[in-house]
A and B are shown apart, each in its own frame.
Chain A
């Protein structure tokens, strides 16, 4: 394998969980709900996927369990923020703390156990193509799903009536309510979808990225996904670019560590977080750009008058 192939393949592996989680968060935020529990839902997905794949031997059942665990984890958050109008920031933090704790408890039994790795699908003939074959046609099902999901989200948000309703709920919940849209129902669906996506992202981590269970293995990726949504200014297309850019930073610092670059490994390890901050600052500087697309009711509770 050529070196460029190896690097691009690992960038895809690093970018996929970010893309998935950010995709779900984007939908939730478009509906007006800021869910800071992505990290917690993601790690619940990771432990759920690992546990089921380990006991059944099937990575595909593992994927299903990851999605389910993420969606399930989002339910208490949805109930509190939507039905009980609690503060979204604090509730999201509670979800992250709970998810990290619960996953640690469940995962204790699996520490050091060999995981089940999800194998790539080789598309006959195409995967042998020179230069691009291995990169485009020899990926696992979650990588393909992440791209398909992104396209579907884009079509849903901007080409369907339901998507228009969802954006209306996020931009002006009172108007949407007055027009007969069920604000809470839309928000519940959006948050649960976000949870399912975060769960799938977690499943990718424990089935593909490092097929084993380690406590806290999401390592802040959930938070990076939240930043990615701002980076993309709530536009799905830009999410793809952002996820691959961050994936590259995440992976290139690992390549640099492996190559024995004369920089302390801890500095290289903190690079992705610093890069995330810098990108957030660069995007936020352009306040009109951020304002233009950010959902006007993001983070605001909704209580109908009647």
Chain B
């Protein structure tokens, strides 16, 4: 290979800022080629996919609605990934939170009042956190790889949801459809304005992002995360407990995924169904990386990935291609983000040049 990686003397500030933008540009370029290969004019394809969803009030609201769970989950995951803890089962924790929170409107019919929704939120966050603590406990107690256990539990959560909505939680008046009863008005995520689609989840997500930013940069505990992630040895010498951090990171990310889950079923969906997420828990992994594991960056990245969902729907309706193209764009984006991040720490040198320098 004529080029070799060489470590930079210090991280490139320029690349730190621009690497996500370059990644998005590369994704768009690849997307253009993909549209061309499908026989679609690339300009028209990209316009339909990435610009038209931004041009109507309805779809702008939809963008916020889809960005909300991505941001909430992404913030939780960024705390894990900063500590080098790999929770990739947020999709399952999202479902667990939705189920725990839905117990109230489905099984406690008749309870009304202003306390119903806060109780659902609390139950949802607790459900997500507890479900996330399973891989954490298996990791700490038995050394079981958390990547694999957290991922496998996603399937378990989804089957459990499927059982509930087809079995005990099916709406008795629902003509045998696999759906729960519709939640009562007290159990619905409050909307920002009447008749719209946006619910309070988005302002909540922004507040949580600000809190997370403060926590990560201005508190000792937040600093510990950084140390444990970047230098486990130094963290041990400093007396930071790796095991406590595993429990903490999983609990926080599980609670945030659970919060996203209960707000989604109590909000845009309004009931439980066999499928309650178009893969938010997995897409949020991309959100976390695109946002450079920075809470504010994650808010922005959440909108980029939300747009990829809307674009997929638009492409299906307008261009007549499969909405699976959204997953393709998402996967490509993660590839490019990771590749661009390499340039923050490394630079490419011609082999000859390296020899001269040394």
Write the residues of chain A forming the contact surface with B, with a CB cutoff of 8 angstroms.
Answer: 36, 40, 76, 80, 83-87, 89-91, 93-102, 104-105, 108, 184, 215, 220, 223-224, 226-227, 230, 264, 266-267, 269-270, 273-274, 276-277, 280-281, 284-285, 287, 290, 303-304, 306
Contacts and interface: CB of A to CB of B under 8 A. Distances in A.
B69 to A, nearest CB: 17
A93 B289 CA distance: 12
Contacts of B358: 306
B342 A86 contact: yes
A161 B70 CA distance: 49
Interface in B309-358: 321-322, 324-332, 334-335, 338-339, 341-342, 346, 354-355, 358
B335 A303 contact: no
Contacts of A266: 159-160, 162-163, 166
A258 B282 CA distance: 32
B4 A223 contact: no
Nearest to B139: A284
Nearest to A36: B147
B285 A280 contact: no
A86 B339 contact: yes
B152 A94 contact: no
B213 to A, nearest CB: 22
B interface residue count range (under 10 / 10 to 19 / 20 to 34 / 35 or more): 35 or more
Contacts of A215: 324
B335 A91 contact: yes
Contacts of B285: 90, 93
A101 B330 contact: yes
A264 B160 CA distance: 10
Interface of B: 1, 4-5, 7, 86, 88, 138, 142-145, 147-149, 151-153, 155-156, 159-160, 162-163, 166-167, 282, 285-286, 289, 321-322, 324-332, 334-335, 338-339, 341-342, 346, 354-355, 358
B153 A277 contact: yes
Contacts of B322: 104-105, 108
B330 A223 contact: no
B145 to A, nearest CB: 7
B51 to A, nearest CB: 21
Given A97-B286, A269-B159, A273-B155, 9 more contacts: A40-B331, A80-B338, A86-B338, A89-B86, A89-B147, A101-B324, A104-B322, A105-B325, A285-B142
Nearest to B324: A104
B335 A98 contact: yes
Nearest to B330: A97
A291 B88 CA distance: 24
Given A281-B144, A303-B346, A220 B155 contact: yes
A80 B339 contact: yes
